Amino acid sequence: MTKTPNTPNKRILPRRGFLRAAGFGTAAVAASTLVAPAIAEGVRELRLVTTWPKNFPGLGTGAQQFADRVTQSSGGKLTVNLFAAGELVPPFESHDAVSSGAADMYHGADYYWQGKHKAYSFFTAVPFGFTANEIDAWIMHGGGQQLWDELGDRFGIKHLPCGNTGVQWGGWFNKEIKSLDDMKGLKIRMPGLGGEVLRRIGASAVTLPGGEIFPALQAGTIDATEWVGPWNDLAFGFYKITKYYYWPGFHEPGATLGIGVNKGVWESLSDAERALITNSAHAVNNVMHAEYNARNSAALNTLIRKHGVQLREMPVDVLNAVGEVSGQVVREAGDVDDLSKRIYESFISFRKMVIADSRVSLEAYYAARRLPFEY
């Protein structure tokens, strides 16, 4: 049943239940923020909640860049105020806050909402799924956006792509992984469908927001974690606890981050304002991916040369095992209801097409570029 979204006024006061501290250990929002300030005539303020720590490289700064683009491009007529994880709502309650009207927008990874509907994972990343360029192609030109809209309608949310981390790494482990047997029983932080894949090969997967990962790894609550890649992993300091850094990552070959807008807010905007928000989200989608490509190489060099991190390739039997299980897990995510089946069929059809193309384009070029010549 479609949930009727609240249509907010220019400011929406948060529900008391959303004001508790959680997620990243941030204190409850100060009482002064509960009182809506005076708003200049003709100015509309929108509250953007995120699942990221304040100003965290790439993720938090990308959300801030979206807020700034909308505010600046509108000449301040649409002012987007950003609240990091835990400042207004706990990180994993961002979807509920926007759906209910307690917040106007969120920035996060939609696979965090797979407990609400498994098909949400298709719009962030699935194991052995799309690269960043491929998921953009599917969403923007392969029917993905229309299916995402249909899914969002069930919760009163308009969805847009707003960032991509690119290919993610396999993660940090407190011991070497030499075979599939070494994965069994390990407590590993991995959300989304990738986490379910790990459970089925004998590991114990847990979902934690970013700010809780380091203390959990430090305390031994988890034995391993994936986060994003060298740039973000360096920022969180995982190298201080473990030196084994594994590649490749199978779970998120191109993780799309999304903006979710309360449907009542979206429908109350003018066509020009909706276009401005869409264009700002698409711009950040491109700029963020480019920044990850630029920063990861330098961060990897720092991890190796300065911090003595040891790179390890994931054993073939582990990759074979997760590959075999991944197909089953993804099919199940696409077999929940009629909508999930249509999303799955669209995703798989487009995936087959881009794989056939990449074999004679990108993959062929990458192989050629590795030939022994320099210039």
Distance separating alpha carbons of residues 133 and 361, to the nearest angstrom: 13
Summarize the confidence of residues 326-331 as an average pLDDT.
Answer: 98
Tell me the CA end-to-end span of the chain in Å, nearest whole number: 61
Whole-number average pLDDT of the chain: 91
Q: Is the pLDDT of residue 40 over 90?
A: no
pLDDT tens for 330-357 read 999 999 999 999 999 999 999 999 999 9
Q: Is the pLDDT of residue 106 over 90?
A: yes
pLDDT tens for 185-244 read 999 999 999 999 999 999 999 999 999 999 999 999 999 999 999 999 999 999 999 999
What per-residue confidence (pLDDT) applies to 29? Answer: 35
Amino acid sitting at position 121: S
All structural domains of the chain with their residue ranges: 16-164+255-293
Q: Is the pLDDT of residue 6 over 50?
A: no
Burial 126-139 (b: 16+ CB within 10 A, else e): bbbbbbbebbbbbb
Q: What percent of the chain has pLDDT over 90?
A: 88
DSSP readout, 60-119? HHHHHHHHHHHHHHTTTSEEEEEE-TTTSS-GGGHHHHHHHTSSSEEEE-GGGGTTT-GG
The answer to whether residues 7 and 159 touch, using CB atoms and an 8 Å cutoff, is no
Q: Is the pLDDT of residue 168 over 80?
A: yes
The answer to whether residues 92 and 112 touch, using CB atoms and an 8 Å cutoff, is yes
Model-level pTM? 0.87
Give the rounded distance of the alpha carbon of 251 from its chain centre.
12
What per-residue confidence (pLDDT) applies to 42? Answer: 84
Q: Is 261 helix (H, G, I), strand (E, B) or coil?
A: strand
Cα–Cα nearest to 245, from 195, 194, 302:
302
Distance separating alpha carbons of residues 285 and 190, to the nearest angstrom: 23
Summarize the confidence of residues 166-172 as an average pLDDT.
Answer: 97
What per-residue confidence (pLDDT) applies to 213? Answer: 97
The answer to whether residues 159 and 152 touch, using CB atoms and an 8 Å cutoff, is yes
Distance separating alpha carbons of residues 334 and 124, to the nearest angstrom: 14
Q: Is the pLDDT of residue 36 over 70?
A: no
Distance separating alpha carbons of residues 93 and 188, to the nearest angstrom: 22
What per-residue confidence (pLDDT) applies to 231? Answer: 98
Q: Could you tell me which residues come within 8 angstroms of residue 224 by beta carbon, excluding any fewer than 6 positions away? A: 171, 172, 173, 174, 186, 187, 188, 189, 217, 242
The answer to whether residues 124 and 138 touch, using CB atoms and an 8 Å cutoff, is no
Q: What percent of the chain has pLDDT over 70?
A: 89
pLDDT tens for 250-284 read 999 999 999 999 999 999 999 999 999 999 999 99
16-164+255-293 CATH pick, 3.90.950.20, 3.20.20.450, 1.10.150.530, 3.40.190.170: 3.40.190.170
What per-residue confidence (pLDDT) applies to 9? Answer: 39
